[in-house]
A and B are shown apart, each in its own frame.
Chain A
Amino acid sequence: MLKDYTSIPVEADSLRPDKITGLSRDQILALPLYHGNKTVTVGDFFEVQETGGDTLVIEGDLSKFKKLGQEMEGGRLVVRGNAGMHLGAYLRGGTIEVFGDTADWAGAEMKGGLIHIHGNTGHRAGAVYRGSEVGMHGGVILVDGNAGLEIGSFMRRGLIAVGGNAGDFAGAHMIAGSILVMGEMGVRAGASMRRGTLVTLKPFEPLPTFRDSGAYRFPFLRLFTDRLHSRGFRVPADVEQSLFRRFVGDMNEIGLGEILILEGRDHDG
């Protein structure tokens, strides 16, 4: 449990369940954290109430704690409060659940595992870091609330589902993978996407470099929604039966991506 709020950023990549499992209370308290430009310990900021198991639960407002669960390979990390930037970046396995909001770069360049954010998330969730050529490589990011700009940019594989709205440039430069936005998407979603699927349940006007290829019902949406339901993410039951207009693009690239826009749930063809 967090003892005191800090306004100075803390780099907390040592707070990973797979690294803490098996450590004694004293060993956990002695783990390093970077507080501004100083090296401190977990004990300077947290009280440890219970040890054992492969679940790490952290309580408190961790909005200034960056890199929580970064490069995690297994176990379960639960944050009861807000989390800072880079939550679960480079995640390889295990589960991260946040009962609050997260800042930017959640799940950036992750390769596996699951991140479930019950609040909102900032910009570039599941995205590529500056300079890299591939973003999210795999795994699942679920956001019950809203997401910021450029979610899933350059993503190669995996799934991002947003219960609320997403900002501009969702899925920009997507190489493959799937993004579902149940609310509204900002402008230029899918810009320069090569392959992959963007699904939105609200009206959306694609870029002119996407080509309308008709309206369909997509059987794969049953698998898609089943997978989401199994992970505790609610999608309206009638979506899998609904008609979607399919736009293919981006024709500036190889044009094998698609944006599916819900046309009407009550349409039975």
Chain B
Amino acid sequence: MPTLRITNGRVFDPSRKLRGDISDLCIKDGKIVESLPGDAPVLDAKNLIVFPGGVDIHSHIAGPKVNIGRALRPEDHRHDPVPRTKIRRSGTGGSVPSVFATGYRYAEMGYTTVMEAAVPPIGARHAHEELNDTPMFDKGIYTLMGSNEFVLKYIREKRPDKVRDFVSWLLRATRGYAIKLVNPGGVENWKYGQDVTGLDDLVNDFDVTPRQILTTMAWVNEELGLPHTIHLHCNNLGVPGNYSLTLETMKAFEKQRVHLTHMQFHCYGGKSWAGFSTKAAEIAEYINSHPNFTLDVGQIIFGDTTTMTADGPWQYRLHGLNHRKWYNADVELESSCGVVPYVFKENNYVNAMQWAIGLELFLLVRDPWRIYLTTDHPNGGSFIFYPHIIRMLMDREYRQDCLKKVHPRVLRDTALQHLDREYTLEEICIITRSGPARALGLRHKGHLGPGADADVAIYKEDSNREAMFEGPIYVLKGGELVLKDGEIVKHVFGRTLFVDTPEPAELLGEIRDDFEKYYTVQFDNYSLPVEALRSYQPVATRAKARTS
């Protein structure tokens, strides 16, 4: 692995309080090191901004539902071909790019780590196969568990220890990185055409409540010492008035650490679409005073996109709103899935409010270490619009210009026009790199200190922040120069990150028995061997670290 010294760059590394300081970076064997011999090759970054590689904590880029989104919408990607070059493979773009195009387009923004945010366990093999072919960044999957029938059964039996052991096994079997909870309990009820509307509703057949699922899984997460918290998609996504349930959900956790995902969709007031309103301030206030929560925003981008989620009941509602294509699936004992194309329109009051609510969250949550930039790709919009969002956050005047183009009542009904905050470069570095890496427990990412992965994005300073962040001058992945002057110059496959949880020998027999009774696949074919991953890096749990 080559060595490289990046000199004269203005380095941003918030974890080491570097705020554009001129500093050298030394790279060896894919890692940042303290020093290099004087004759090491040099990359001159004079007048350039040096960031750690971007880390996307929540994106939908691989797996069954993503592939369904591709298949469902040929019209979405035929206008956006990604031609082959001597280095790149061909593909298609649109709101759900093909695997290679996904890798290239993230790299073209300077991102080097992306987490696939929702994979049903039985789809993990598929997701990893796609991620094996998604180049340019490290990746991982969050394993869906919020309505897993094993989990529900053990909670009903009041055996949290069995839940813990099952989760440990399931993460190991799926090579997952984190526990993902989507509309806990509601997804199980969707199998009966129903949903849950409160934390104490009963889940059909199991007589457990969303509250029990949430608190048990948060406990399990801490028992297992997972690097990330539970990754929670709250109940009642997208529904007017859902903010009260979001607040109630947060209160249910007391001191437990939780990541709340795409929170823009969970900050709505009103009792109907006609009375739709923002409650971003209330949610932000609660988060500001409770340091156990992190969140990503799920910012809306106006235009055509493809929504996809395990939240089947929500997708049915969305289909009822726009009457476009709808895909629905029941994933055995594990989850559900819905895919619906959607156009967010500037002149649609609700859509414009959603857009403003996302920005309000960005501007009202004070601690950048606890709020992260996402569009819930592709649900709120494609990840390729991150530079556009960055510009809106850094440039108040531009943000106000954008505000003038949306439905006029948004001016009156949100606080956006009065929010003067402008993000600094350091804060952008935090919400796109250092913060997500810290929340994920990725100690070797999101910073540029010795021992960090040599994932580096180098930008040219530009007052137009959108232009700046959509075109890095250099990107290094694992110490290798993969992008120069906007062009991919080297094709690399990143590693798959998964948590190294123990296999619970005592519970295996019981799981196997139920498997053979109820699953369409045999138990022995379910677990994913590490050999199925192109390149991987297990991440130790704190529990394991304590015992080893």
Contact = CB atoms under 8 A, between A and B. Distances in A.
Interface of A: 129-133
B72 A133 contact: no
Q: Which of A130, A131, A133 has the most CB of B within 10 A?
A: A131
11 contacts: A129-B74, A129-B78, A130-B74, A130-B75, A131-B72, A131-B73, A131-B74, A131-B75, A133-B75, A133-B324, A133-B325
A70 to B, nearest CB: 11
B76 interface: yes
Interface in B78-125: 78
Interface string B55-78: 000000000000000001111101
A129 B77 CA distance: 12
Contacts of B72: 131
Interface of B: 72-76, 78, 324-325
Nearest to B341: A133
Contacts of B74: 129-131
Contacts of A130: 74-75
B324 A131 contact: no
B79 to A, nearest CB: 9
Chain A residues touching B, majority SS? loop
Contacts of B75: 129-133
Contacts of B76: 131
Contacts of A132: 75
Contacts of A131: 72-76
A132 B75 CA distance: 5
A132 B72 CA distance: 10
By Cβ-Cβ distance, the 3 closest A-B pairs, closest first, are A131-B74, A131-B75, A132-B75
Contacts of A129: 74-75, 78
Contacts of A133: 75, 324-325
A131 B75 CA distance: 5
Contacts of B324: 133
Nearest to B73: A131
A26 to B, nearest CB: 25
A129 B324 CA distance: 16
Nearest to A128: B75
Nearest to A132: B75
Nearest to A129: B75
Given A129-B75, A131-B72, A131-B74, 11 more contacts: A129-B74, A129-B78, A130-B74, A130-B75, A131-B73, A131-B75, A131-B76, A132-B75, A133-B75, A133-B324, A133-B325
B310 to A, nearest CB: 23
Nearest to B78: A129
Nearest to B77: A131
A119 B73 CA distance: 33
Contacts of B78: 129
A129 B79 CA distance: 12
B326 to A, nearest CB: 13
A13 to B, nearest CB: 11
A131 B79 CA distance: 13
A129 B76 CA distance: 11
A86 to B, nearest CB: 11
Nearest to A130: B74
A104 to B, nearest CB: 15
A130 B74 CA distance: 7
Nearest to A34: B83
A113 B205 CA distance: 60
A133 B76 CA distance: 11
Contacts of B325: 133
A38 to B, nearest CB: 11
B325 to A, nearest CB: 8
A214 to B, nearest CB: 33
B321 to A, nearest CB: 15
Contacts of B73: 131
Nearest to B324: A133
A10 to B, nearest CB: 16
A130 B75 CA distance: 7
A129 B74 CA distance: 9
A130 B73 CA distance: 8
A36 to B, nearest CB: 13
Nearest to A71: B79
A132 to B, nearest CB: 4
A133 B72 CA distance: 12
A234 B505 CA distance: 83
A132 B73 CA distance: 8
A143 B370 CA distance: 63
A160 B76 CA distance: 26
A103 B73 CA distance: 24
A132 B325 CA distance: 10
A176 B488 CA distance: 46
A137 to B, nearest CB: 14
A130 B76 CA distance: 10
A131 to B, nearest CB: 4
Q: Which of B72, B75, B324, B325 has the most CB of A within 10 A?
A: B75
A133 B325 CA distance: 9
A62 to B, nearest CB: 22
A173 to B, nearest CB: 14
B270 to A, nearest CB: 30
B339 to A, nearest CB: 13
A169 to B, nearest CB: 19
A133 B342 CA distance: 13
